[in-house]
């Protein structure tokens, strides 16, 4: 068995347009919010961090929260700090990545995980759960945590916020890590695997 990795359409030159971003410093979440995405724990960690950093926002890209999810956000006391632009084009998303304090990826499980790769391409530090394929994608370039622990997620978000030098080191590591993934490499590895089967 061989593993051939995917890649991203994002490029380092993206994310410098005039699209709107939150006015306050923000953490970024991108994607769906099914149970395995672990979004509830992110809201809990963000709410706790907001108690000592009231200027923070959480930018949530994707379908706007509604129903029970919205009630949980409001119950956590951060209803006015969650900014939801909806689904956005790639250029806008790249800008949201580029200006975020960090991209948070709290999933309990992922098959591959394109968003951490997109974040690294856009010079955004990644805070990610240390499960399934995520460490294969982010390598040494992420701040990892146990996705079942709100405390660990809170600690990593607080650390990134308060330690800019560590943040910059992970950004540099992210550039190096992201360079390992390209569609050219995916095609070459796939073709080589087929050739070995002949």
What sign does the CA torsion over 30, 158, 35, 138 have?
Answer: positive
Domain extent, residue 54, equals 26-197
Mean pLDDT over the full length of the chain: 90
Q: What is the pLDDT of residues 103-129, one digit of tens each?
A: 999 999 998 889 999 999 999 999 999
The conformation of residue 168, written as its DSSP 8-state character, comes to H
Measured distance CA(102)–CA(162) in Å, rounded: 12
93 belongs to a structural domain: yes
Between the CA of residue 175 and those of 32, 82, 108, 113, 145, what are the distances in Å? Answer: 25, 28, 25, 16, 21
CATH number at residue 61: 3.40.50.2000
Q: What is the pLDDT of residues 14-64, one digit of tens each?
A: 889 999 999 999 999 999 999 999 999 999 999 999 999 999 999 999 999
6 belongs to a structural domain: no
Of 34, 37, 59, the residue nearest 46 (C-alpha): 59
103 belongs to a structural domain: yes
158 belongs to a structural domain: yes
13 belongs to a structural domain: no
144 belongs to a structural domain: yes
12 belongs to a structural domain: no
Between the CA of residue 35 and those of 21, 72, 97, 102, 173, what are the distances in Å? Answer: 27, 14, 23, 22, 30
């Amino acid at each position: 068995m061989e593993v051939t990795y995917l890649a991203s359409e994002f490029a380092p030159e993206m994310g410098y347009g005039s699209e709107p971003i939150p006015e306050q410093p923000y953490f970024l979440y991108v994607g769906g919010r099914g149970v395995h995405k672990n979004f509830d724990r992110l809201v809990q960690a963000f709410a706790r961090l907001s108690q000592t950093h009231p200027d923070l926002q959480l930018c949530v890209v994707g379908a706007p929260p509604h129903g029970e999810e919205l009630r949980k956000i409001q119950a956590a006391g951060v209803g006015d700090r969650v900014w939801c632009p909806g689904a956005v084009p790639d250029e806008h998303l790249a800008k949201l990545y580029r200006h975020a304090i960090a991209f948070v990826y709290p999933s309990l499980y992922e098959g591959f995980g394109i968003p951490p790769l997109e974040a690294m391409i856009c010079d955004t530090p990644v805070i990610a759960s240390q499960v399934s394929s995520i460490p294969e994608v982010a390598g040494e370039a992420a701040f990892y945590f146990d996705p079942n622990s709100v405390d660990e997620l809170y600690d990593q978000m607080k650390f990134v916020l308060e330690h800019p030098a560590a943040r910059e080191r992970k950004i540099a590591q992210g550039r190096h890590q992201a360079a390992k993934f390209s569609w050219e490499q995916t095609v070459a590895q796939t073709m080589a695997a087929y050739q070995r089967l002949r």
